[in-house]
Amino acid sequence: AQKITQTQPGMFVQEKEAVTLDCTYDTSDQSYGLFWYKQPSSGEMIFLIYQGSYDEQNATEGRYSLNFQKARKSANLVISASQLGDSAMYFCAARTGNQFYFGTGTSLTVIP
Amino acid sequence: NAGVTQTPKFQVLKTGQSMTLQCAQDMNHNSMYWYRQDPGMGLRLIYYSASEGTTDKGEVPNGYNVSRLNKREFSLRLESAAPSQTSVYFCASSEMTGFVSPLHFGNGTRLTVT
């Protein structure tokens, strides 16, 4: 099984600033995918961004980017120009084969 | 485009009662999953079904059973509910091929067992 570690239980960021949410993973597989999900207070799980283990460039989706450092086994989420609507729980996940493994999440609060 | 649909959204059970959580997806995905979410513990896999006709245990299967009724539907049954099963339950689906295919989640079921 994979272990996904999110060491920041809670983070605060000023509106319009950038923030980095940390994620490390532990796998011996060569082929894997890394994902970030957002869970607002309403409870749904929203897929944000993914990175494949063979991708050489960092993934980007709008204001989200994934800082992938394969040798360090880290997959940090960077949110640029934070908005009040970014306040939510964020979960990092990894996929090997048909199995997905999740971290315990980081609660992000955007301060006006 | 409904995606993954779960029912019910909320449920209160007494200890010992049974219930079935229903899940259906319309994305033609082969793989379907049931997770539970508890505070501070992230999402933990209960059962998954890699394809129609197969099911496998996840990290926390005790007290649950599943049925992959067809490619679209994957139900989760609690035969004799216990307070420890109070949680938020998520159904999800994914393409089977390709490790970069994400999970698509339903909106969750909030279950309270008293």
pLDDT of residue A2: 78
Quick one: average pLDDT of A103-108? 95
Position B39 scores a pLDDT of: 85
Confidence of residue B1 (pLDDT cuts 50, 70, 90): low
Distance from CA of A63 to the nearest CA of B (A): 19
Helix (H) or strand (E) holding A110, with range, is strand A106-111
Please answer whether residues B93 and B27 qualify as being in contact, where contact means their C-beta atoms are separated by less than 8 angstroms: yes
The answer to whether the Cβ–Cβ distance between B107 and A44 falls below 8 Å is yes
Q: Give the pLDDT confidence of A30-74 residue by residue, as tens digits.
A: 899 999 999 999 999 999 999 999 998 999 999 999 999 999 999
- Residue range B99-103: mean pLDDT, rounded: 86
Neighbours of B47 (CB within 10 A): 22
Beta-carbon separation of B43 and A33 below 8 A: no
Digit-coded pLDDT (tens) for B47-63:
999 988 899 999 999 99
Q: Closest residue of B to A2, CA-based? A: B59
Distance in Å, alpha carbon of A43 to nearest chain B alpha carbon: 7
User: Given an 8 Å threshold on Cβ–Cβ distance, is A50 in contact with B100?
Assistant: yes
Q: Which residue in A17, A1, A8 sits closest to A104, CA to CA?
A: A8
- Of A84, A87, A68, the C-alpha closest to A76 is A68
Give the C-alpha separation, B50 to B30, whole Å: 6
Question: A52 to chain B nearest CA, in Å?
Answer: 6
With beta carbons under 8 A apart, name residues in chain A contacting B103: 35, 37, 45, 47, 93, 100
Cα gap B94→A50, rounded to integer Å: 14
Please say whether the beta carbons of B60 and B31 come within 8 A.
no
